[in-house]
Amino acid sequence: METVILVLVSGLTLSGMYALSAIGLSLTWGALGMLNMAHGAFLAVGSYVCFTIITQLGAPMWLAIPMAVIISGLVGLLVYLLIVRQMFRHPAFETNIIIATIGLAILSENTILNFFGAYPFRQPLVIEGGFRLSGIFIPYQNIAILASSVVLVGLVGILLGKTRTGRAIRATSMNKDAALLMGVPVGQVYAQVMAVSGCLAAVSGIMLSTITTLSPTMGDAPMVKAFIIVAVAGLGNVYGAFFIAIGFGLLEAIFQFTFGVRLAFPLLLLLVIASLIWRPNGFFGSATILRN
Amino acid sequence: MVRNRTHIPQLSPIGCDFAALLAITAIGIALPFFVESRYFLSQLTLFLIWATVVSQWNIVMGFAGIFSLAQMALFAFGGYFTAVLGKYFGVNLAIGTFIAGFATVGVSLIIGFACLRLRGIYVALLTFAITQTAVLLVNSDTACIIGTGATCQTLTGGQRGLSQFGDYGFRELLGRDYQIGNFYVALATMVLAIGLSILIVRGPLGYAFRALRDNEAVAVSVGINRYKYQLLVFAASAFVTGIAGGVYAAHFKVVGPSILGFPVMAFLVSMLVVGGLGKLWGPIVGAALLMLIDEQLKDFAEYRNMGLGILIVFFIVLAPDGLVGMFEKIWQLLRNRRPQREDNNSAGRVAAKKGTLQNFEGN
Amino acid sequence: MGESFLTLKNICCGYNSVDVIKGVSIDIPRGAVVGLVGPNGHGKTTLLRAISGLVRLRSGSIKLRGETISELSADRVVARGVAHMPQGDLVFPQMSVRENLLMGAYLPAARADSAKQLEYVHNLFPKLSERTEQLASGLSGGERRMLGIGRGLMTKSELIMIDEPSLGLAPLMIEHIYDVIRALKAEGRTLIVVEENVSRLTDLADELHLLDDGHVVWSGGGADLMSDDVLMKTYLGG
């Protein structure tokens, strides 16, 4: 029973972080048709900015986090304006954008490395203490992460489902030409999606950094996992990504517990490969995006 | 708008390419006699190795349009395989390299099969994940195969890497000039790689992929089986890549997880992009230029990777067809005709007439 | 007939640097119903896409109410009162019928009246109102067509372009759709209809343009076209 609770807690914490990261990626993937290899960089940037704001500017947590998130959103917007938008016209956009974002990721990681060094700073955001549930110690930190994830996912859900902006994003993801014909300013939608994606990645990164430490390459592994989650869920299906993220986090915790940390990921990967062979378009995916 | 070409008697495109390759081979053969510095020769050898790997990556990504990010993993596999054969099984490295080529084909086919039904981005994702897993597995390899404690040897050498597995034996043959031996091996590998590339691009495989890219429905109706060609490309490109890995191992006498890391991948991506993705001669141009730049910037080591990142973004955004692409455009302008766009009826032409290289613009 | 509502001047456009439209000039007066006919694959669909802005012009210009719209992105063109119901409908598959229709009323101008428009569309297509919560991906071909047209009507645009309204529909449905088109004409809207079957347009259209290989090879009234055996045989399969 104790192990179950332990696994559940760590699993759900992971799920929460992955869900936010994956949703951001799914939005980008769905609306713009791009595989954002700089997603991990957004995670790292958000964390380091938050860290800097707290330690250098002495700002309190409730100020630092939103600021870092907004800044990451702006970075996402910039990436769209300066890079993605220029590349849309090229027929090989899908390949080229992967390379461009790889370049961005390298630039970002090494800029962080040069600025901060590789020292594994601790994010000064830890909530001390916890409570006991049937003998197991559950840190408040984890609960906070889980709660924040739920709230944020809910907000994104409302944004997508109930607002005009959300409808525009969904329409653009489903059929860009049709959206244009409805008067949806698709270019603006793209910009919004990239900004939101940056914000979500930042939150995910900040959460992650409270459990582990800061490092320039901290976004790499989470990014791979986000990719996997989104692919298994299916192109651009945000709700699907959410559910698969939950499953993934729990599975990872179970695998880590059963097979050890080293083998957990490769085994997960095998599972993923199998599922992608079974369902090449993802579990909840449908037809591919109509890229003009 | 297609204009009529005046028919000037000239070599067919494939003839031109092989002529160029011949010229490069000749230069390569002559080169060691003019190079004094051992370090320089070693760097040239490295250039040849990278050009090889990038040329094969170019085939997969640039021509066949398969977003594979597993090229480095295949290269590393070839290197590690050769090293392991040499170290634990005492296999002569030359033979080991050759075997590694085939072994790498095997691995590549497995990856190819896994990616078979996947489209576009999914392939990138999967191959990226596979590469990351390889990095993870190697870096955390602590299972001792031989010995324990201080004398522990793991299969992949873990974070330290593998060493002391032999070499091509040029020291015995050539004495002080043993580097030249490695250089020629690398040269032969690169010539093989480019030759293979030319055959693939100008041959039926190239036609097939262009047709698939332009209009898949038509191509399929003409009997072009995407799966078959995808696997063929995976296999063909893996062979030389694996061999290149073996050559790397033999030359530097150490293989470590660094060749799987981001910096090396960044370096190769830069070569690919700067040279020109999808351009036949892009890899050589890109590799040469990047090695030159890298050499000049040796003193600014910390900023090296930042610079690479900027270079990649710069080129892919502003000059997605790379330097070779730019040369081509300038060449067209100089010859006073409009830049000929890619013929987008390859599928139809395949159906209509196989064989005649008429108005073939290749890339 | 009033002054020119929509003017196409010598437009050339296409895909991948291959021109599909090779110099087309058409004048469309306000309130007119114009038919585009001709063999398949010769540019009728591309012409509509050029007008709505989904395809960029290589040369030439398009003016709507005197304003040049050929440089505008499609969403801006649509905002100026252009509805394009494309071939293939392009419905939003993971949205319900209702959500699809409401997307038609995305722009502020249409949003104000969306409830009334929705009722109008439901009356036009009762079959659709039965399926109002169903996902568009689960609709049949004919239902999708109705949805595509209904959604376009939600935009309350002055210029309405329909690509092959009768494609894939049962004869009764086709009659129904053409009744709708007639009603729209009576309201004073301007319509461009791409139609393979010329006979449907003969009473309805004020002018027909015959498109072949990216050129307008003939323009005139429907009756004239039907009675011209040479034209009918050459371009429209007798």
pLDDT, average across residues C217-227 = 82
Highest mean pLDDT among C97-101, C125-129, C196-200: C97-101
Q: Inter-chain contact B125–A228, Cβ cutoff 8 Å?
A: yes
Q: What is the pLDDT of residue B339?
A: 52
C contact test, residue of B344, B346, B349, B361 with most C CBs within 10 A: B344
Question: Is there a contact between A50 and A206 (Cβ–Cβ < 8 Å)?
Answer: yes
Distance CA C44, CA C24 (A): 11
What is the DSSP secondary-structure string of A235-246?
TT-HHHHHHHHH
Question: Is there a contact between A17 and A207 (Cβ–Cβ < 8 Å)?
Answer: yes
Q: Inter-chain contact B132–A224, Cβ cutoff 8 Å?
A: yes
Query: Please, how many CA atoms are within 13 Å of residue C144, restricted to the half-sphere of its CB?
Result: 18
Please state the three-class secondary structure of C87-102 as a single string: CCCCCCCCCEHHHHHH
Distance CA B108, CA B118 (A): 15
Q: What is the pLDDT of residue C200?
A: 85
Q: How far is CA B125 from the centre of its chain?
A: 20
pLDDT, average across residues A176-188 = 93
**Per-residue CA distances from A143 to A16, A17, A138, B304, C211 (Å):** 10, 12, 8, 42, 67
Q: B339 CB near a chain C CB, below 8 Å?
A: no
Q: Tokens 């323009």 — which residue?
A: C219
Distance CA B88, CA C54 (A): 63
Q: Which of A174, A181, A187 sits opposite C52 (nearest CB)?
A: A181
Q: What is the pLDDT of residue A125?
A: 79
Q: B338 CB near a chain C CB, below 8 Å?
A: no
Residues of C with CB below 8 A from A171's CB?
A: 92, 95, 103, 106
Q: What is the pLDDT of residue B345?
A: 47
The pTM of the full predicted model, rounded to 2 decimals, is: 0.82
Question: Is there a contact between C125 and C177 (Cβ–Cβ < 8 Å)?
Answer: no
Q: What is the pLDDT of residue A292?
A: 27
Kindly indicate the confidence band of residue A159, based on its pLDDT and cuts at 50, 70 and 90.
Answer: very high
Distance CA B286, CA B268 (A): 9
pLDDT, average across residues C150-155 = 92
pLDDT at A19 over 70: yes
Using CB atoms within 10 Å of the CB of residue A283, give its burial: 0 to 12 exposed, 13 to 18 middle, 19+ buried: middle
Question: Which two three-digit tokens encode residue B239?
Answer: 């062979």
Distance CA B100, CA C231 (A): 69
Size of interface A-C (CB pairs under 8 A): 74
pLDDT, average across residues B208-230 = 78
What is the DSSP secondary-structure string of A15-51?
HHHHHHHHHHHHHHHHHH----TTHHHHHHHHHHHHH
Q: Tokens 């692919």 — which residue?
A: A231
Q: Residue C93: which residues within 8 A CB-CB, separation 6 or more?
A: A174, A175, A286, A287, C135, C136, C137
Distance CA C150, CA C131 (A): 13
Using CB atoms within 10 Å of the CB of residue C16, give its burial: 0 to 12 exposed, 13 to 18 middle, 19+ buried: exposed
Q: Residue B241: which residues within 8 A CB-CB, separation 6 or more?
A: B52, B53, B56, B57, B71, B74, B75, B78, B104, B108
Q: Tell which phi-psi region holds residue C90, choosing left (phi > 0), alpha (psi between -120 and 50) or beta.
A: left
- Render pLDDT for A244-275 as a digit per residue (tens, 0 to 9): 999 999 998 988 888 887 778 788 877 877 88
Q: Tokens 């000059």 — which residue?
A: B319
Bridge partners, C84 (sequence order) = C161
Residues of A with CB below 8 A from B309's CB?
A: 103-108, 110
Q: Inter-chain contact B302–A114, Cβ cutoff 8 Å?
A: yes
The residue count for chain B = 363
Amino acid at C124: L
Distance CA A137, CA A210 (A): 18
C-alpha closest to that of C149 among C175, C188, C181, C126: C181
Q: Which of residues 84-103 of A touch C (CB under 8 A)?
A: 91
C-alpha closest to that of C142 among C117, C120, C173: C173
The sign of the torsion formed by the CA atoms of B233, B27, B168, B134 equals negative
Q: C144 CB near a chain A CB, below 8 Å?
A: no
The more confident residue out of B349 and B17 is: B17
Closest chain B residue by Cα to residue A260? B140
pLDDT, average across residues C163-182 = 86
Rounded to the nearest angstrom, the minimum Cα separation between C9 and chain B is 21
ipTM: 0.91
pLDDT at B5 over 60: no
Residues of C with CB below 8 A from B341's CB?
A: 16-17
pLDDT at B166 over 90: no
pLDDT, average across residues B89-113 = 91
Task: Indicate the average pLDDT of chain A.
Answer: 86
Question: Is there a contact between C44 and C87 (Cβ–Cβ < 8 Å)?
Answer: no
pLDDT at A290 over 60: no
User: A: neighbours with 3+ CB pairs under 8 Å?
Assistant: B, C
Residues of B with CB below 8 A from A87's CB?
A: 316-317, 320
Kindly indicate the confidence band of residue C192, based on its pLDDT and cuts at 50, 70 and 90.
Answer: very high
Q: C73 CB near a chain A CB, below 8 Å?
A: yes
pLDDT, average across residues B81-89 = 89
Q: What is the pLDDT of residue B343?
A: 44
Q: What is the pLDDT of residue C79?
A: 93
Residues of A with CB below 8 A from C86's CB?
A: 177-178, 181
Q: What is the pLDDT of residue B349?
A: 40
Question: Is there a contact between A290 and A179 (Cβ–Cβ < 8 Å)?
Answer: no
Question: Which two three-digit tokens encode residue B303?
Answer: 């900023």
Using CB atoms within 10 Å of the CB of residue B149, give its burial: 0 to 12 exposed, 13 to 18 middle, 19+ buried: exposed
In terms of DSSP H, where are the helices of chain B?
A: 13-30, 38-57, 71-89, 93-115, 121-139, 170-174, 178-202, 204-214, 216-221, 226-252, 262-275, 282-296, 301-318, 322-334, 346-352
Rounded to the nearest angstrom, the minimum Cα separation between A16 and chain C is 25
Bridge partners, B154 (sequence order) = B144
Q: B225 CB near a chain C CB, below 8 Å?
A: no
Return the DSSP state at B62: I
Residues of C with CB below 8 A from B1's CB?
A: 17, 19
Kindly indicate the confidence band of residue B351, based on its pLDDT and cuts at 50, 70 and 90.
Answer: very low
Q: Inter-chain contact A92–B266, Cβ cutoff 8 Å?
A: no
Q: What is the pLDDT of residue A289?
A: 38
- Render pLDDT for B311-333 as a digit per residue (tens, 0 to 9): 899 999 988 888 999 998 898 88
- Render pLDDT for C82-120 as a digit per residue (tens, 0 to 9): 999 998 888 999 899 999 999 999 999 888 888 998 998
**Per-residue CA distances from A182 to B29, B101, C105, C156 (Å):** 64, 55, 7, 11
User: C: neighbours with 3+ CB pairs under 8 Å?
Assistant: A, B
Question: Beta strands C67-68 and C4-15: pairing type?
Answer: unpaired
pLDDT at B356 over 50: no
Using CB atoms within 10 Å of the CB of residue C47, give its burial: 0 to 12 exposed, 13 to 18 middle, 19+ buried: buried
pLDDT, average across residues A128-136 = 78
Provide the 10 A C-beta neighbour count for residue A226.
32
Highest mean pLDDT among B102-106, B327-331, C227-231: B102-106
- Render pLDDT for C12-30 as a digit per residue (tens, 0 to 9): 998 877 888 888 999 999 9
Lowest mean pLDDT among A97-101, B351-355, C191-195: B351-355
pLDDT, average across residues C33-57 = 89
Rounded to the nearest angstrom, the minimum Cα separation between C20 and chain B is 12
Q: How far is CA B333 from the centre of its chain?
A: 30
Q: C78 CB near a chain A CB, below 8 Å?
A: yes
Give chain C's largest Cα–Cα span.
50
Task: Indicate the average pLDDT of chain B.
Answer: 82
pLDDT, average across residues B58-66 = 87
pLDDT at C139 over 60: yes
Distance CA B227, CA B212 (A): 11
- Render pLDDT for A35-58 as a digit per residue (tens, 0 to 9): 898 999 999 999 999 999 999 888
Provide the 10 A C-beta neighbour count for residue B310.
18
The sign of the torsion formed by the CA atoms of B213, B218, B220, B223 equals negative
Q: Which of residues 170-189 of A touch C (CB under 8 A)?
A: 170-171, 174-175, 177-187
Lowest mean pLDDT among A188-197, B224-233, C46-55: B224-233
Distance CA B191, CA B48 (A): 9
Lowest mean pLDDT among B222-226, B240-244, C47-51, C81-85: B222-226
The more confident residue out of B209 and B112 is: B112
Lowest mean pLDDT among B177-191, B240-254, C218-232: C218-232
Question: Which two three-digit tokens encode residue B57?
Answer: 């990556």
**Per-residue CA distances from A15 to A7, A140, B132 (Å):** 12, 16, 21
Closest chain B residue by Cα to residue C15? B344
C-alpha closest to that of B109 among B238, B243, B260: B238
